[in-house]
Structure 1
Amino acid sequence: MYPVKAAAELSGLTPETLRAWERRHAAVAPHRDAKGRRLYDAAMVERLARLHRLTDRGHPIRDLAGLENEALDRLLQEGRHAGYGGVETLPERMLDAIADYRVDVFDRDLSVAIATLPLPVLMSRLVTPLLREVGVRWADGRLAIAQERLVSSLLRARLLSILNQHPREQRPRLLFATLPGEPHELGLLGAALHAYEDGAPVLYLGTELPAVELARVANRLGAAAVAISSVDPGQAPAALAELRALDAELAPGVPVWLGGANARYLAEELGIERLRAVTDPAALTRLIRGRALADRAR
């Protein structure tokens, strides 16, 4: 059972919003302790998190509050898999614009997509195919280095704006960074956005952060977990040393989740209990939800 403040934090709401949803819309019916104080079980927290994600996408709470959880899940899935006409051809059109250095066209299309597509659709049907096509065109010579860097810089700026435009109301609990020598961040940024969509309070620290500094920030904030991306095989030996330093400085019990091409190698080579390779979005979702509830239960 969780009190009002904890239930609000876990679901991404303020206590005031949670109380308003109860009072005005009967979104949940909390239990009461012997003193009459509200208590919420894990199922209620999950329901509130669903409602929060759907209201973030523009659904009015008055239309959602009376729905069963199964109906809320269907709405979430519809948002993930809806047609969104034209999105399938958008990556190719955007890269054609970059090939002609029409940066304004690329940026306009990206901005409209961010404004109109649910985040899972944006990532799975625009950003990921776009990056894949960048790789293909770079390999066969249709995309110059300067054009590839344009795509990366524009994507970075716009995707970071998603994290920054609606910061979570509670203290950041999940930190994202790369270690020194790892400048590639689009995969890391995608993972951070996935965590954000799952309702996690995210702090995105960016690239090439020394392990000791990362541990200092995590300890200061009382982070629930640290997520690190490592993709450059040439940086794997240095990453091993940095991760050992991180393990030595990081507070006990804080897990380190590794993503990127080097993740499995690093986790297996180090054999440190708190280090875990996480290369699947669904696994990241399970870890976020499990960690949030376990953390609050303590």
Structure 2
Amino acid sequence: MFPVKAAAELSGLTPETLRAWERRHAAVVPHRDGKGRRLYDGDMVERLTRLHRLTDRGHPIRDVAGLDDDALGQLLEESRHTGYGGLDALPGQMLDAIADYRVDVFDRDLSVAIATLPVPVLVGKVVTPLLREVGVRWADGRLAIAQERLVSSLLRARLLSILNQHPRERRPRVLFATLPGEPHELGLLGAALHAYEAGMPVLYLGTELPAVELARVSARLGAAAVAISSVDPGQAQEALAELRALDKALADGVPVWLGGANARYLAEELGIPRVQAVVDPSALTRLARGRPAPKRRD
């Protein structure tokens, strides 16, 4: 059971908005304690979170507040897939622009997509296909080093504007980073966006962070988990050493999620229970639910 302030934070709302939705639209009907104070259970917080996502995507609260939970879930799922069929060609067009070093065209298309698309559509129709196409063109020689770095820097700058929208987030966050020797971050950015859309508080730390620094940040913030991308086979042995150091330095109860081409190998080689390979970004949602966060250290 959560009081108003906690329920608002968990669902991404302000207490004022929560009260307004409750008073004007009967979005939820809270419980009352012995002193008449409002209390919200987990199902109510989940409902408020869904309503928040739908209003972010343009649905007026007056139109969705009366829907039952199943209808809200269906509406959320439909909004992921409908109305955006024309985007299929966009990632290829953006990389064609990069091939000609038309940075302004790539950046314009990316900026418009970020400004106009819901996050799940942005990830599913633009970012993920773009990352996949970068890999294909890199492998067959159609993308030069300079062009790949242009894509990386432009994506990073624009996507961080989404991930850093809540710099004062107080819920336990999932830290996203790569280890020393791993400069590639496009897959890490994509995973962070998936986690963000799933409602997880995200802190994106970027590339090449030593294990001891990751553990220090995790302890300071009381992190919910640490997510690490490792893609370079040549760095696998160094990654093993860093991950062992991270396991020793990290507080008990903080899971480590590995993504990227090396993830399965690293997890199997380490054999550490809290270190898991997560090759499907959507699994981040399932992993996050029900995990108690460690106590914050001041």
Q: TM-score, normalised by structure 2?
A: 0.92
Contact 1:176 1:188 in 2 (8 A): yes
- The 5 Å alignment of 1:104-123 reads 104-123=104-123
- The 5 Å alignment of 1:201-220 reads 201-220=201-220
Amino acid at match of 1:137: R
Contact 2:195 2:284 in 1 (8 A): yes
Distance in 2, matches of 1:26 and 1:68, equals 12
Aligned residue in 1 for 2:200? 200
Q: Confirm or deny that 1:252 pairs with 2:252.
A: yes
Distance in 2, matches of 1:90 and 1:287, equals 32
Contact 1:227 1:256 in 2 (8 A): yes
Contact 1:172 1:203 in 2 (8 A): no
Aligned residue in 1 for 2:290? 290
Identity %: 85
Amino acid at match of 2:179: L
Aligned residue in 1 for 2:65? 65
Please state whether the residue corresponding to 1:248 is helix, strand or coil: helix
Aligned residue in 1 for 2:17? 17
Q: TM-score, normalised by structure 1?
A: 0.92
Q: How many residues are matched?
A: 294
Cα displacement (A) at 1:166: 4.7
Tell me: CA distance 1:141–1:269, structure 2 relative to 1, closer, same or farther (3 Å): closer
Cα offsets for 1:163-198 (capped at 9, x unmatched): 124546434521111111111111111111111111
Amino acid at match of 1:53: R
Cα offsets for 1:48-105 (capped at 9, x unmatched): 1111111222222222211111221122112211131420111121122112211111
Query: 5+ unaligned residues in a row in structure 1: which ranges?
Result: none
- The 5 Å alignment of 1:1-298 reads 1-167=1-167, 169-291=169-291, 294-295=292-293
Query: 5+ unaligned residues in a row in structure 2: which ranges?
Result: none
Please state whether the residue corresponding to 1:203 is helix, strand or coil: strand
Tell me: CA distance 1:231–1:142, structure 2 relative to 1, closer, same or farther (3 Å): closer
Distance in 1, matches of 2:215 and 2:124, equals 31
Cα RMSD (Å) = 1.8
Distance in 2, matches of 1:119 and 1:6, equals 25
Indicate the structure whose relative CO is greater, using CA pairs within 8 Å and at least 6 residues apart: 1
Distance in 1, matches of 2:17 and 2:169, equals 11
